[in-house]
Amino acid sequence: MTLTRSTFLQLAGAALAAGPALAQTGPRMQTRKIPSTGQDLPVVGCGTWQTFDVGDSPAERAPRTEVLKVLFEAGGSVIDSSPMYGRAEGVVGDLLAEAGTRDKAFLATKVWTQGHEAGIAQMTESLRRFRTDHVELMQIHNMVDWRVHLPTLRAWKQEGRIKLIGITHYTESMHDELEVILRREKFDFVQINYALDDRGVERRLLRAARENGVAVIINQPFGGGGLLRKLLPRPLPAWAGEIGCTSWAQILLKFVLAQPAVTCVIPGTGRPDHMRDNAQAGFGSYPDRDLLQRMVREIAT
């Protein structure tokens, strides 16, 4: 039997909608190359700001255990955290250890402090909380004291405690400064804000990342949740099906993933049903130029 593209997409969708058991044997999420290493990275990950800052009761832990299970079973791997996110690093570390899934995770965390010694102490503590001897990606959070931390990150990379290094921000006002940094220094990743109503990266930063071989992680694809909440009461547009979307969350994620310079998007969630929904954006086709313009016209305005 020949599998047409639309049948394939329907099967992929059905497998994930049906839940983990089917998804495990179904198709895997799409990947994109990290320019500096050529390594394939799944396009949808999970952010942990607020969503993983929870205590140790079963009621708080069980849904997050399930979120990570859904992420991995869909073929995803990127988990983004920070010492700024309260208990999140420790929660992720505990859940990965309990499930024995550390090797499935691409752990991305951050250094968020002033000073050389404080940076080393904080990164050491992050490894302890994650219960690991290395993280896949260490990012300088919000560019805080980046000139001081960068040599430490490079030294840790040499030693293998960090596989890749990055720098982050979440506001357009810092994009120009970030661009200068990306053109001057060698970073593997930049993490920045991009959403249908927050399109500043399209101006220059995505091009700067592409020209300098820097992978791009997108944070706040739902505008921190506010953009998505505004859209949820509206019926889905008729064109949603053309790009295999069955929810507003998938539409917003496919909007950012339509940019070839974007490597991965990390919507934050502590809910398994939302993780399953978000993971779907890693399957099927993405909007072309005409549809992107239509999305901006019909949704952002």
Ligand X SMILES: NC(=O)c1ccc[n+]([C@@H]2O[C@H](COP(=O)([O-])OP(=O)(O)OC[C@H]3O[C@@H](n4cnc5c(N)ncnc54)[C@H](OP(=O)(O)O)[C@@H]3O)[C@@H](O)[C@H]2O)c1
* Residue ranges in contact with ligand X by CB under 6 A: 47-49, 51, 80, 141-142, 168-170, 191, 219-225, 228, 249, 266-271, 274, 277-278
Closest CA to 170 of 198, 145, 136: 198
34 vs 228, beta carbon nearer ligand X: 228
149 vs 274, beta carbon nearer ligand X: 274
CB of 232 to ligand X, least distance (A): 7
Q: With contact defined as beta carbons under 8 Å apart, do 171 and 197 qualify?
A: no
Name the E strands within the chain. Answer: 31-33, 40-42, 46-47, 78-80, 106-111, 135-140, 162-168, 189-193, 215-219, 264-265
CB of 238 to ligand X, least distance (A): 21
**DSSP per-residue string spanning 50-77:** TTT---SSHHHHHHHHHHHHHHHHTT--
CB of 275 to ligand X, least distance (A): 7
249 vs 291, beta carbon nearer ligand X: 249
CB of 40 to ligand X, least distance (A): 21
159 vs 226, beta carbon nearer ligand X: 226
63 vs 75, beta carbon nearer ligand X: 63
Q: At what angle are helices 88-99 and 58-73 packed, to 10 degrees? A: 70
Extract the tokens encoding 115: 């000073």
CB of 38 to ligand X, least distance (A): 25
Q: With contact defined as beta carbons under 8 Å apart, do 157 and 181 qualify?
A: no
What is the residue type of 180?
V
